[in-house]
Amino acid sequence: MLVTKEIEIDMGHRVPEHKSKCRSHHGHRYKIEVAVYGELITKKGSSEGMVIDFGDLKKIMMDVIDKQYDHSYTIYNKDNHINFFNVMKADGCKINVVEFIPTVENLAKHWFNLLDKKLKFKNIKLAYIRVWETPTSTAVCSIEETEEDF
């Protein structure tokens, strides 16, 4: 059985060296869908008949993604603008410095890996993560895409 849950976050980024306007600093309202799968719980209790309680899945998504990335700026650690963001971070701004260019594809892969670790600990299998950068543009990451490093 496959079940999904969605959350939304607001986050800024840029794609250095990009040929168009994404090279400039900007932000998005990201929608993130996570799909997990497994057997239905047969043990009597509150979660009987479920793969995972939607509230429990949402809490994991909020802890792993929302808490760190919502209302933040994510920047590549080799971006030539990094010093400006280090100053902002030192001033208390929510800045995520990552080891990859923060495209929607790389963010989907990164968040997949973070969630997968957390869900495996709870014996839940992560099928995929779909990240909308705009209402019409998404990236989907599943286990096959995470086997290669950045």
Give 129-147 pLDDT, tens digit per residue: 999 999 999 999 997 666 5
pLDDT at 133: 97
Percent of the chain having pLDDT more than 70? 95
- Cα distances (Å, whole numbers) of residue 133 to 8, 14, 25, 78, 143: 10, 12, 14, 22, 21
Find the catalytic residue in 17, 71, 81, 99.
Answer: 71
**Global confidence as pTM:** 0.91
Predicted confidence band at 43 (pLDDT cuts at 50, 70, 90)?
confident
For the cut 50, the answer to whether the pLDDT of residue 150 exceeds it is: no
| Partners of 32 in beta bridges | 7, 131
Answer yes or no: are the C-beta atoms of 57 and 37 closer than 8 Å: no
Mean pLDDT, residues 113-129: 92
Separation of alpha carbons 113 and 2, rounded Å: 19
Active site residue 133: yes
CATH of 2-71+103-147, one of 3.40.50.300, 3.30.479.10, 3.30.70.20, 3.40.630.10: 3.30.479.10
Mean pLDDT, residues 67-79: 97
Find the catalytic residue in 13, 110, 133, 141.
Answer: 133
